[in-house]
Every structure is written in structure tokens, then in C-alpha cells.
Chains A and B, each alone.
Chain A
């Protein structure tokens, strides 16, 4: 059913923002995309072939995906118990817990990551404590390893997982759980057979956010991985700004976009239809 003057009103409402988005968001992306396949002689996919053929770029790409998977898995593992307890808290305590959980997301990324330098450095808190406790003989190197990147990314993106899981689990009535318990299911069984399936949508959504966030984050790998352990984002920065290799950077940029869009699209398919 049409409302009076609908078409004109809608155009009036969305045109300004849409023009802005088209000009300063879509256009640069389209240019990047076009440049990645343009060649003096015409169109080419050659540079994408090179991207996959060259050891460095291929390894960085695979590492990026691999670290993304690890961070996502750990976030799910750590996120579930925390989210479960938060979802079952009384409202005022839940608000407090949530405001603490989201802190890493809303803190200046340099400040947040810098803390890990202090903790994980060669003479950092962690090494001192481990040596002091006699667990290791001498300090080990954590900074500029994949482990450091995983730790940093996990702190950043775990909150996203907890947030989505909490809102998924809030909608599971306690009765359902109690029903499962009364029917003889243990704690683990209740989780696997009731809570997990009912919160699966939140898990998929949270997983998508954590994974795509992890494979595109810049500050964490820049500070905690340095030039020694590159990820796609830091490689892109290096190619563009340090090496001034624009066409190489362009390919990396497109690979990043395509990977995130692909993951988003794929995982959207995975989400239950009813939601």
C-alpha cells in the first residue's frame, strides 16, 4: 500500500547519505577493484596469480587466515562460559559486567596493545613472573611471534563474541534448561543438547565478526608482530607506504575485501532461517 508522496519522501531521505557513501566509500573501492585487474594492455588476473605464487604473500595470507581461525576458536571457547554467566545475572549486575566486557572494544587500540608490550616483553611482567616462579630458566620471546598477535587479537575481539552470545542466550528461557536437567541431563549434556543449539545463531554471528575483525585488524599485528610476523593488514601497509609498491598493495587490498565479503556471505547462509 502506498502512502501519500512516498517515493518523493524516500528519495529526499536517502539521497544525501547515499551520495556521500557512493562518492567517498563505493567509488574508491571500485577504483581499487578496477586497478587490480587493469593492465596497460587490457585486463589481467596475472597479479592475483603472483599473489598466490609468491612465497611471502601466500604465506602471509595463509597465516592471516590461520590466526583468524585460532582467535575465533579461542573466543568461542572462552566466550561461552562468560556469556552464560552474564546472561543469567540479575539486570544491574549484568549491566556492570557488560560495561566491563566492552571496554577493550572501545579503548584506543594503541593504548590497549601497548599494555601487552609491557606484559609480554622480554623483561615484561609475564617473563619475570615465570622466571621468578622457576617455571622457565630465562625469559622467552613472545613479542613479535604469532602467539603475541593471537593474544592481542583475542583481547580485542573476545568482547564481540561475548556480546553476541549474551544476547543469544538471554532469549533462552531458564525453564528450558531446567526441563533438560529434570529429564536427567548433566551440565555438559544440557550445554551440548540445549544451550549450544539454541545459541548457535549467536555463535555464527559472533564468529563472523571475530574472524573478519581478526584478519583485517591493523594495530595489533603492527605492534605485536612487527615486520617479523606480517599479516595481510601490515603487509598492505608495508607495500604501500614503505615500498611504495602500489599495484602490489592494491592486490592485497582486494584480497582482503573479497575474503571478508566471502566469509560474511558464507556464514550468513549458515545462520538459521528462523532468525
Chain B
């Protein structure tokens, strides 16, 4: 069917609006001086150099990386059995369990961070990293459960039963037969959860403290103190890496279907 030029115009506006800012910041980060003008005055890579030199970014990067890996793995390891139970069994309270594990995606993350701060960090003196880890893991459950259960639903249960009838226990059949065939889904869930944790501000905001901050929180803090293209350079690096990951993941297993 013929599509009107109006439609295409709207389409281009949407894409410019969504992606244009990324282009702007990429260009601005090569600024020659300390002003944040666009188009930039002059050209240099000094701000990229500075990003690598700033100690607090390096530390925050490692904190974020460890946090994201730990909470993603925990959410997947604990969430996969839940997805399995929801898809392969019918039981009383199934609805409740399903809603419960989608709740962290609905409840405002800021509120969760606030709650964890008040009752664990302040009253029980929980150290900073565990607090972040618990909060991040909680908000990643919905991703793990949803992505894994969707692909499990599309996996013929007879294949599993075949393995069981041939002598494999349920666990063995899951590990030997289901897991290898759901690799793509696990990878998609891992990437989505990892990115979600790595980018998270709302949960971390209340839970970071002296000495331990995640990268986005550190970026916010830096912005309050300085207004130079360092953040632009750091943002550019992050944007390019994210872009590469998303492109690869979309090509490999259509990550956009899992969001």
C-alpha cells in the first residue's frame, strides 16, 4: 500500500528526536575549549584524556561493573527457577507469584531505594555495597523472570519429558536439554539486566555513600561541581559502547522483543 509522505516526515522527526541528541553530544565532546558550546569551538581529545584520569570515574566504573554482574547473575539464578515453575506447572497462588515478580518493574525504584536506605542502611547499619546489591537484584527480577518464561513457553515441553523418560532427573534435563536451547534468551536477559543495573540511578541514589558510588551517580555528582565537556566525553564513550552492544544483541537475538 502507498504510504503518504506525511507519514515519512513524522518518522524522520521521531528518529531525529530520539537519536539527534546522541550525535550532538558526540560532537561536543571533541570540543577544543572548556565551554559546552555546540557546535564546539576547536577540536581536541583532551576531555577523553581527562575522563581516564579522573579517579572517581574509574572507581565508580568498577563499582558499577561488579554491582551489575553480581545482581544480574543473582536475579537470573534465582529468577530462572521461578520462570520455570510459572510456565511448567499450574498451582494455587500462581497469579500472585506472577504479579509479585512483576511488581519491582511497577513500583517506583526511587521508593525502593528510599525504603532500603531507611530500614537497612540506617537502622541496621548495612554496608553500602550489599545495600546496592539487594536493591539492584530486586529490580532485575522482572527482566529475568519475563525473558526466561517467554522463551520457555515457546520450548516444546515434550523435549524435556523425552529427556526425563530417558532417565534424566528434572534438574539434569533442564541443564542438559533446556539450558542449551535457551542460550539466546539467557544472553538477552543477561544483557538487559546488566544494562539496567549499570545505568540505574533511582535505586542507587539513596544507597550510595561515602567512598562507594556507581558510575551514573558519580556523573551526577561531577555535573553539580563542574560544567566542562568531561561528562560529554564520558557520555560519548558510554553511548558508543551501548550502541555497539544493542546493535549486536538485536542482530543476534532481537533484544527489542524482550524489553
- A/B pair count, beta carbons within 8 Å: 271
A183 at the interface (CB under 8 A from B): no
Give a binary string over B211-228; 1 marks a CB under 8 Å from any A CB, 0 the rest.
Answer: 000011001100100000
- Report whether over half of chain B's contact residues are helix, strand or loop; otherwise say mixed: helix
Partner of A261 from the list B101, B106, B110 (CB cut-off 8 Å) is B106
B25 within 8 A of A: yes
Evaluate whether A216 and B223 lie within 8 angstroms (CB atoms) in the complex, with A102-B246, A114-B235, A119-B24 already known: no
Kindly identify, within residues 59 to 116 of chain B, every residue whose CB is under 8 Å from any CB belonging to chain A.
Answer: 74, 78-79, 81-82, 84-85, 89, 91, 97, 100-101, 103-104, 106-112, 114-116
Closest to B123 in A: A31
Residue contact B202 to A100, C-beta cutoff 8 Å: no
Q: Does B134 contact A (CB under 8 A)?
A: yes
The interface bits of chain A over 115-133 (1 if a CB of B lies within 8 angstroms of the residue's CB, else 0) are 1111101011100100000
Whether B108 lies near A257 (C-beta < 8 A) is yes
Given contacts A98-B250, A118-B36, contact A21 B21 (CB under 8 A): no
Shortest Cβ gap from A7 to chain B (Å):
8
Given A103-B246, A124-B38, A236-B110, CB of A21 within 8 Å of CB of B100: yes
Q: How many residues of A contact B (CB 8 A)?
A: 93
Determine whether the beta carbon of B119 is less than 8 Å from that of A174: no
CA distance A81 to B13 in the complex (A): 10
Which A-chain residue is minimally distant from B229 (CB atoms)?
A118
**Any B CB within 8 A of the CB of A6:** yes
A220 smallest CB distance to B (angstroms) = 10
Within 8 A of A (CB), among B12-33: 13-15, 17-22, 24-25, 28
Cross-chain contact B112 with A117 (CB below 8 angstroms): no
Within 8 A of B (CB), among A85-134: 85, 88, 95-96, 98-112, 114-119, 121, 123-125, 128
Would B114 and A32 count as touching, CB distance under 8 A?
Answer: yes
- Interface secondary structure of A, over-half rule: helix
Q: Roughly how many angstroms separate A163 CA and B20 CA in the complex, as a whole number?
A: 19
Pair B38/A125 contact, Cβ less than 8 Å: yes
CB distance from B190 to the nearest CB of A (A): 14
A145 at the A/B interface (Cβ < 8 Å)?
no
Question: Nearest CB to that of A212 among chain B residues?
Answer: B106
CB distance from A62 to the nearest CB of B (A): 18
| 10 closest Cβ pairs, A-B complex | A28-B115, A111-B235, A115-B21, A99-B250, A81-B10, A216-B108, A13-B81, A17-B78, A24-B134, A98-B256
18 other A-B residue contacts (CB within 8 Å) besides A108-B199, A236-B111, A256-B110: A14-B97, A26-B100, A28-B115, A28-B119, A81-B10, A81-B14, A101-B18, A103-B22, A109-B201, A111-B236, A115-B21, A128-B38, A160-B259, A222-B220, A237-B206, A246-B118, A257-B111, A261-B106
Q: Which residues of A contact B (CB under 8 A)?
A: 3, 6-7, 9-10, 12-14, 16-18, 20-21, 23-29, 31-32, 35, 78-79, 81-82, 84-85, 88, 95-96, 98-112, 114-119, 121, 123-125, 128, 154-155, 158-160, 162-163, 167, 174, 177-178, 181, 187, 212, 216-219, 222-223, 233, 236-237, 240-241, 246, 249-250, 253-254, 256-257, 260-261, 264
